[in-house]
Structure 1
Amino acid sequence: MTSLENSAVHLTPLNLGVRAHDFEKMPLDRLIRKIKQYSFSNIQFAIKKSFPESAPSLSALSPGTASYYGGAFSRAGIKLAVLGCYVNIVATDPSVRARALDDFITHLRLARDFGASLVGTETGSVGNGYTTDNFTEEAFQEVVNSVRLMVDEAERFGVTIGIEAGQNHPLHSAPLTRRLLDEVPSNNLQVILDCANLMSPDNYETQDAIVTEALDLLGDRIAVIHLKDFKIEQGRIHIVPVGQGMLNFSPILHYMKYKRPHIHGILESTPESDMETSIAFLQRIYSEI
């Protein structure tokens, strides 16, 4: 361990958060108590998932709704690291895509009222679920077209977009994500990196190389790290609680500790019944690297 790394041991605690909707649906005051019970410093908040009654339609969200939730989290000392608005920005039906983009732009407009500076999404699918059409150049160009529109609005509102790659999506690898960043050259476009999302039954045995490539290619454009785990069962990826799967978290946590101190890391797809164990698993690795 270098002297720089040694000093960082005492300076950079793991900045761990959670997706709010990984808790069961509950009143806001109880949700806040749960978040604080597990000592999460930040959250990813998708209002439609946690409080659907407050969001009968995403485009109808008001500054009042945003400040109601944002103010409650702020008073509790909980940072809203990601305002989640996961919509299909490459839908082939023009009306569906237009509605998705409108919903996302509404979140950009209200991000400051929520107390967030970053709005996150994946790219969706050009088909109804899985389709090999997502792996075409045409599908990637549809991503570029939509992201350019989104970035224009993000720059207008002074908010950041967090784009997340995922297997089977048009944006499904670190090199493609790097290409998107190059084709839409704006600092208002950043990356939510979920290394489990880059794994497949065909490549998981070379996961260390894939993770290293992602960290090298995306570097300082990574705004948030999702912490999620997976197993291979019957030739398919299955998401499991963190620490119960096959993902090697050491290089990810090393990057978080030494390359990007205090970066938001968000526990994902881990139910509350497993949270305590998963948190201890991550903290142990983080303290040892």
Structure 2
Amino acid sequence: MNIGIRAHDLPKQPMEGLIKDIARRGLGSVQLALNKSFDLDIKPGTLNPGMAYLIGSAFRRHDIQIAVLGCYTNIIHPDPEERHSALSRFKEHIRFSRDFGCGIVGTETGNVNPDIIYTEENFHEKPFQDVLSSVRELVEEAEKFGVIVGIEPGVNHPIYSPETMKRLLDEVQSNNLQVIFDPVNLMTAENHERQNEILREAFSLWGDRIAVIHAKDFIISEGRLVPASVGKGLMDYEFIIQQLSPHINIILDETSPEHIEDAIHFLKSCESTS
């Protein structure tokens, strides 16, 4: 299995220390959010090929793949200036992605509110059209550089279901748009008992467009869905792993350092029984 981690789920530290920490834990890839992950302050407009190559080379020396450049931002921010700034920052990541040795830049699809919160206002037609406009703009840039825009659907966003993700893929019609799939992000306290039905629909509609899997888990506490480290909750990972393409990047998400070893063992045990 190709198991990695979001680099910012480990303690923030100097780059070399972070990379050695990742390698020591037996992880082979990362989703890298630059300013969240180590003590480099990369301001908008300062990213360049030399900096990207320096960072990418440091990971390659330890045989760690930068599987995704994380640029998670509100691509439909209600303030037009903030939205423009978010899209410009994402495009900057696209332009230099290949210098990192990475082919995917990822984000969720934002929120009608400045803060990313659950609201059914996201589920109306206008937010979908706003997402479509922003994603088309990002994919147009990605096509110039041979890079994939990875979109992560979730119930806190306008792309909140297997159907809306399928609609976005159909409307954009570009292979430079692919899916970062976090199964827990489609779950709620109300629908989690139908998880296999929802998962089957997702894999049926766009399983061939999944570029990366995020692996976390969930529990239900006081009627609310609460994220948990993978293997510590209710997600049916045996079923999920049965559906995956060989060697796909599986990125641990919201996994605290003390649970990483258990998470790796759990996922490998699911693979052996699938």
Q: TM-score, normalised by structure 2?
A: 0.96
Alignment equivalent of 1:103, drawn from 89, 93, 96:
89
Per-residue CA deviations over 1:237-260 (Å, capped at 9, x if unaligned) read: 11111111111111111112xxx1
- The one-letter code sitting in structure 2 at the alignment partner of 1:208 is N
Distance across 1 between alignment mates of 2:181 and 2:224: 21
Q: Which residue is equivalent to 2:272?
A: 287
Distance across 1 between alignment mates of 2:41 and 2:99: 15
Q: Which residue is equivalent to 1:207?
A: 195
Residues 33-42 or 178-187, more deviating:
33-42
- The one-letter code sitting in structure 1 at the alignment partner of 2:130 is E
Residues 44-53 or 207-216, more deviating:
44-53
Alignment equivalent of 1:35, drawn from 22, 42, 57:
22
**1:140 match: secondary structure:** helix
Alignment equivalent of 2:178, drawn from 190, 213, 221:
190
1:139 maps onto 2:127 in alignment: yes
Q: Which residue is equivalent to 1:261?
A: 246
Q: Which residue is equivalent to 1:115?
A: 101
Runs (5+) with no aligned partner, structure 2: none
Q: Which residue is equivalent to 1:9?
A: none
Per-residue CA deviations over 1:253-286 (Å, capped at 9, x if unaligned) read: 1112xxx111111111101111111111111111
**2:206 match: secondary structure:** helix
Q: Residue 52 and residue 134 in structure 1: after superposition, are their counterparts in 2 closer, same or farther (change >3 A)?
A: farther
Q: TM-score, normalised by structure 1?
A: 0.91
- The one-letter code sitting in structure 2 at the alignment partner of 1:217 is L
Contact 2:34 2:40 (8 Å CA) reproduced: no
Contact 1:212 1:251 (8 Å CA) reproduced: no
Contact 1:59 1:102 (8 Å CA) reproduced: no
Contact 1:108 1:153 (8 Å CA) reproduced: yes
Alignment equivalent of 2:53, drawn from 41, 44, 67:
67
Aligned residues: 272
Contact 2:7 2:33 (8 Å CA) reproduced: yes
Distance across 2 between alignment mates of 1:132 and 1:166: 12
Residue 116 of structure 1 deviates from its aligned partner by: 0.4
Q: Which residue is equivalent to 1:50?
A: 37
- The one-letter code sitting in structure 2 at the alignment partner of 1:19 is R
**2:40 match: secondary structure:** helix
**1:24 match: secondary structure:** coil
1:90 maps onto 2:47 in alignment: no
Computed over aligned residues only, the root mean square deviation of the Cα atoms, in angstroms, reads 1.1
**2:241 match: secondary structure:** helix
1:278 maps onto 2:263 in alignment: yes
Contact 1:48 1:58 (8 Å CA) reproduced: no
- The one-letter code sitting in structure 2 at the alignment partner of 1:153 is E
Contact 2:76 2:134 (8 Å CA) reproduced: yes
Residues 73-82 or 182-191, more deviating:
73-82
Q: Residue 59 and residue 239 in structure 1: after superposition, are their counterparts in 2 closer, same or farther (change >3 A)?
A: farther
**1:161 match: secondary structure:** strand
Residue 63 of structure 1 deviates from its aligned partner by: 2.0
Distance across 2 between alignment mates of 1:61 and 1:51: 15
Q: Which residue is equivalent to 1:252?
A: 240
Runs (5+) with no aligned partner, structure 1: 1-13
Residue 32 of structure 1 deviates from its aligned partner by: 1.5
1:157 maps onto 2:142 in alignment: no
**2:174 match: secondary structure:** coil
- The one-letter code sitting in structure 2 at the alignment partner of 1:116 is C
Distance across 2 between alignment mates of 1:266 and 1:230: 16
Q: Residue 132 and residue 59 in structure 1: after superposition, are their counterparts in 2 closer, same or farther (change >3 A)?
A: farther
Distance across 2 between alignment mates of 1:33 and 1:168: 34
1:77 maps onto 2:63 in alignment: yes
Residue 191 of structure 1 deviates from its aligned partner by: 0.4
